[in-house]
């Protein structure tokens, strides 16, 4: 990079404008130059008033003062203590750091009013520790480049522009402060979600009449805890890690993805024991209303559904039904005609005892499930043929059969395997089971007490349940909920709390994109804004001091277009600093 001067004649006077330019080599041996940072005009003369002045914050001064910058080769007409001459040949650019995505995270934080919320609930300590700013840094870190608190302390904070945006130095991320900040959070979880729901209602006019509920798990690659009150337990793993202890996360969100509540449950809790807790929570927080709950199969019990129907006002639900219920109703459903909902989607309706059963059939889902079944069955059959040709003892054969069953569980149900005591293997295809599976591919049974709704609206309503899976995918993927670098149970839950704070920023940005830039994702926008860097431009003066200009770089055209589309305006550049130079650059 180098300093470039642009001269311009205006009103009979020569003006010089300065910028920092970088050179890049391109294919063919040529070079192109790109302006990285515009510094503006540095005065060549002064007559009646300063033509260009800046405010600088001098070491030891409580308020900034105004000075005028002149290059050392151009003397001002009148000497003045507000005139500072700089040595342009000794200009240096230091500390490039990521600014754009950090600024957007802080903007979303302020848009949700979290800066005032946490300033009220987390006041500074007696030693002046700003817990609210530490939490801001933790949440931005989780949103932008998630990792351990140790990495935030040793590496990420100083490589980002968070110190400039928060107005706090490295003392903010001392490692013990990061951990102690987590200890203050959990008691404000209910107040936080009340605040967020109010803000989302104001910003996006969202309603909370349709609620989506589901569960997921997160595992720990550690030994089982000795403390009986620790929630980390072995249980059904949705991550297919039955060898690890885990926690269960239960989440309620709206169809737009806004989280209303979550709970951290013991790893061995079953799905059907969790719903009643959330029904009471939502009723206490938001009052009684005719809400619609969208639930996956296996979550509600018959007793819970009866309780929902008997409540005043009745709680509406649309729930997936286990496959065993389809076998019970198969004869009655055969008598019902298929109704077309949309292209490729047909349904059958079966009213029963104040409820409505909806059997849906999707042509695309038929093709998908059939292809998966054929692939698994083909590979299992090839493996079984290989085992038939091997000379194995019965014990070795059973071990290999167990491995094949674990690898292709769906196809295993379609074959009959007979392992003889002498190690020989008999294999046959269960054609009755295969015919039954073919008939049920691409079909799923729904159950609801919304008997007045048409089939198309019921199917569209149930499809919104994918938003919960999207929320879990974001938490475990973009926000790196796992691995959890903590062993103390309250801090494990506080780590999950910070992840949900980052998810609140993520979903807020996603809803803004839905209205202003559909087709873009939150992750793509954050990645694009990372191109805006911040650098420190050091301008040595002739009197042994140094002017430091902290400046974010000029956005590229695609970044400028994105900011305009999102109706975002970048803030003013930070106030320069003037301090005594410890070592002069020769």
| Sequential DSSP letters for 325-354 | HHHHHHHHHHTSPPEEEETTEEEEEEEETT
Tens of pLDDT, residues 389-428: 888 888 899 999 999 999 999 899 999 999 888 888 899 9
pLDDT at 583 over 70: no
pLDDT at 311 over 80: yes
Query: How many percent of the chain have pLDDT more than 70?
Result: 89
- Looking at residue 246, its pLDDT comes to 93
Task: Name, in order, each residue with C-beta under 8 angstroms of 16's C-beta and a sequence gap of 6 or more.
Answer: 5, 6, 7, 8, 41, 42, 44, 71
Mean pLDDT of 227-237: 90
Helix 275-286 to helix 302-310 angle, to the nearest 10 degrees? Answer: 20
173: tokens are 């991320």
- Looking at residue 516, its pLDDT comes to 92
| Sequential DSSP letters for 390-440 | S---HHHHHHHHHHHHHHSHHHHTTEEEEE-TTS-EEEEE-HHHHHHHHHH
Tens of pLDDT, residues 475-500: 999 999 988 889 899 999 999 999 99
Cβ(161)–Cβ(169) under 8 Å?
no
pLDDT at 586 over 50: no
Q: Which of 52-66, 284-298, 450-464, 571-585 has the lowest mean pLDDT?
A: 52-66
Greater pLDDT, 26 or 280: 280
Greater pLDDT, 112 or 38: 112
Mean pLDDT of 182-211: 92
The per-residue b/e assignment along 15-25, b for 16 or more CB within 10 angstroms, e otherwise, is beebbbeeeee
Determine the Cα–Cα distance for residues 408 and 416; give it in Å rounded to an integer.
14
pLDDT at 37 over 50: yes
The DSSP letter of residue 541 is B
- Looking at residue 75, its pLDDT comes to 59
pLDDT at 147 over 90: yes
Greater pLDDT, 377 or 547: 377
Q: Which residue has 């928060």 as its token pair?
A: 166
The per-residue b/e assignment along 171-207, b for 16 or more CB within 10 angstroms, e otherwise, is ebbeeebbbebbebbeebbeebbebbbebbeeebebe
- Looking at residue 39, its pLDDT comes to 67
Please give the sequence-ordered ranges of beta strands (E in DSSP) within 421-555, or none if there are none. Answer: 425-429, 443-448, 533-540, 545-552
Mean pLDDT of 173-185: 94
- Looking at residue 32, its pLDDT comes to 72
For β-strands 316-320 and 292-295, DSSP reports them as parallel
Tens of pLDDT, residues 244-294: 999 999 999 999 999 999 999 999 998 888 888 888 888 887 777 778 999
Task: Name, in order, each residue with C-beta under 8 angstroms of 38's C-beta and a sequence gap of 6 or more.
Answer: 17, 19, 554
Mean pLDDT of 303-313: 85
Residue 2: pLDDT band (50, 70, 90) is: low
Every domain of the chain and the residues it spans: 206-349+449-489, 364-440
Tens of pLDDT, residues 435-452: 989 988 888 899 999 888
Greater pLDDT, 122 or 392: 122
- Looking at residue 585, its pLDDT comes to 40
Length of the chain: 586
Q: Which of 42-51, 136-145, 211-220, 354-363 has the lowest mean pLDDT?
A: 42-51
Collapsed DSSP state (helix, strand, coil) of residue 578: strand
Mean pLDDT of 13-30: 70
Query: How many percent of the chain have pLDDT more than 90?
Result: 47
Tens of pLDDT, residues 506-561: 999 999 999 899 989 999 999 999 999 999 888 888 877 888 888 898 888 899 99
- Looking at residue 78, its pLDDT comes to 47
- Looking at residue 40, its pLDDT comes to 67
Quick one: which of 298, 359, 351, 302 has its CA closest to 327? 359
Residue 55: pLDDT band (50, 70, 90) is: low
Tens of pLDDT, residues 66-87: 666 666 666 555 455 667 777 7
Domain 206-349+449-489 has CATH 3.40.50.300: no
pLDDT at 45 over 50: no
């Amino acid at each position: 990079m180098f300093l470039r001067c642009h001269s311009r004649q205006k009103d009979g006077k020569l003006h010089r404008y300065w910028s920092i330019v970088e050179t890049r080599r391109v294919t063919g041996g040529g070079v192109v130059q790109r302006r990285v940072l515009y510094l503006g005009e540095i005065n060549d003369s002064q007559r009646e008033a300063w033509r260009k002045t800046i405010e600088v914050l001098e070491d030891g001064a409580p308020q900034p003062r105004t000075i005028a910058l002149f290059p050392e080769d151009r003397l001002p007409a009148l000497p003045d203590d507000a005139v500072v001459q700089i040595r342009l040949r000794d200009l240096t650019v230091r500390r490039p750091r990521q600014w754009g995505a950090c600024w957007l995270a802080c903007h979303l934080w302020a848009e949700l009013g979290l800066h005032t919320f946490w300033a009220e609930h987390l006041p500074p300590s007696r030693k002046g520790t700003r817990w609210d700013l530490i939490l801001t840094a933790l949440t931005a870190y989780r949103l932008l480049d998630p990792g351990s608190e140790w990495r935030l302390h040793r590496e990420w904070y100083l490589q980002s522009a968070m110190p400039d945006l928060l107005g706090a130095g490295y003392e903010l991320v001392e490692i013990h402060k990061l951990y102690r900040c987590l200890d203050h959070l959990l008691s404000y979880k209910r107040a936080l979600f009340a605040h967020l729901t109010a803000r989302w209602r104001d910003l996006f006019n969202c309603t909370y009449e349709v609620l989506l509920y589901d569960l997921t798990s997160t595992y720990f690659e550690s030994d089982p805890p000795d403390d009986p009150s620790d929630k980390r337990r072995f249980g059904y793993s949705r991550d297919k890690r039955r060898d690890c202890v885990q926690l269960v996360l239960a989440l309620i969100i709206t169809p737009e993805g806004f989280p209303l509540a979550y709970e951290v449950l013991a790893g061995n809790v079953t799905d059907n024991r969790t719903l009643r807790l959330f029904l009471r929570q939502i009723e206490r927080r938001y009052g009684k209303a005719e809400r619609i709950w969208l639930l996956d199969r296996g979550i509600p019990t018959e007793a819970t559904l009866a309780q929902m129907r008997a409540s005043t006002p009745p709680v509406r639900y649309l729930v997936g039904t286990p496959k065993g219920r389809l076998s019970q109703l198969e004869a009655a459903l055969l008598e019902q005609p298929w109704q077309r909902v949309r292209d490729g989607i047909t349904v059958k309706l079966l009213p029963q005892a104040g409820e409505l059963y909806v059997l849906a059939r999707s042509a695309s889902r038929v093709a998908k499930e059939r292809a998966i079944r054929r692939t698994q069955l083909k590979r299992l059959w090839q493996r079984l043929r290989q085992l038939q040709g091997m000379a194995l003892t019965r014990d070795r054969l059973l071990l290999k059969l167990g491995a094949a069953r674990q690898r292709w569980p769906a196809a295993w149900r379609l074959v009959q395997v007979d392992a003889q005591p002498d190690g020989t293997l008999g294999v046959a295809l269960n054609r009755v089971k295969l015919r039954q599976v073919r008939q049920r591919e691409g079909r799923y049974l729904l159950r609801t007490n919304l008997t007045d709704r048409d089939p198309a609206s019921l199917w569209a309503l149930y499809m919104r349940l994918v938003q919960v899976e999207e929320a879990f995918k974001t938490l475990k993927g973009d926000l790196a909920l796992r691995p959890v670098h903590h062993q103390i149970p309250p801090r494990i839950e506080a780590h999950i709390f910070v992840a949900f704070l980052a998810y609140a920023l993520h979903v807020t940005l996603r809803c803004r994109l839905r209205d202003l830039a559909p087709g873009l994702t939150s992750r793509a926008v954050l990645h694009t804004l990372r191109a805006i860097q911040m650098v420190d431009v050091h301008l040595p003066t002739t009197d042994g001091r140094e002017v430091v200009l902290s400046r974010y770089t000029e956005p590229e055209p695609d970044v400028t277009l994105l900011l305009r589309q999102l109706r975002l305006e970048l803030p003013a550049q930070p106030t320069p600093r003037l301090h005594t130079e410890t070592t002069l650059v020769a």
